[in-house]
Chains A and B, each alone.
Chain A
């Protein structure tokens, strides 16, 4: 079933309502939202739930700070980064770190669709683009 614009907006609003004050997805709120959708038909509910899940995933990505690194990074540095970026996005960001040897050295931070690159591999890729 294809959702119309109104239902898409509803799903978006429900996803926003599922966030807590810090901008993180709250389990209780999600349950409350799910409970509120009981009155609809199964078919309509399924489509709405799919859209709701989609927008929740978007929100989850927006509230997550994924830091890829090659080598060791001081936790204090990571925390400082999380605080700064949290202020910028006006929400509490959930920090996730991942080792990525392909970066050679440096970091790559991802929040939602925004990527912040400060790695040797990134600079080499820029150099290659500039030369080509």
Chain B
């Protein structure tokens, strides 16, 4: 076969006959030991190309497209995951901040409530003390007033008793002579005044 091809090759390149013949000799020296038949080789090459073309066109291209799509999906998925991760981190940070604020707020409210309770307790205590003092003062004033009234009543009673007793004693025990003497003295007093 190679003996048929080589002259063909020499005919195809009419302008370089000497270079061609040396080249053909070299090629014959290389391919001879391996048993390569040029016709078959070319046919195989053509077959290979056709198969490669068909495989590429109907197989590899689609496969590559699918692989591309998958890669894109994976990339977008990864990106989405990254974004979500970032968002989650941000959310966690925000949540922590909110919790911190809420904790501070809660502590503040508790402190205020404690202060208010303390102030209220003090106020109630002071009011109670003041009320007790007022009640005590009123009680003392009432006692003093009652005492005065009692003393007044007692004085009145004693005076009435004394006068009544004197009345009775004098009415009973004065003699006519004593009366007459008193009357004379009284007449003189009235005459002078």
Contact = CB atoms under 8 A, between A and B. Distances in A.
B159 A127 contact: yes
Interface size class of A (residues with CB under 8 A): 20 to 34
Interface string A56-84: 00000000000001111110011011001
A106 B184 CA distance: 8
Interface of A: 69-74, 77-78, 80-81, 84-85, 101, 104-107, 109, 116, 118-121, 124-125, 127-128, 131-132
A118 B192 CA distance: 12
Interface of B: 155-156, 158-160, 162-163, 166-167, 170-171, 174, 176, 178-180, 182-193
B166 A124 contact: yes
Nearest to A78: B187
A77 B184 contact: yes
A72 B186 contact: no
A100 to B, nearest CB: 12
A71 B190 contact: no
B156 A132 contact: yes
Contact of A104 (B162, B167, B193): B167
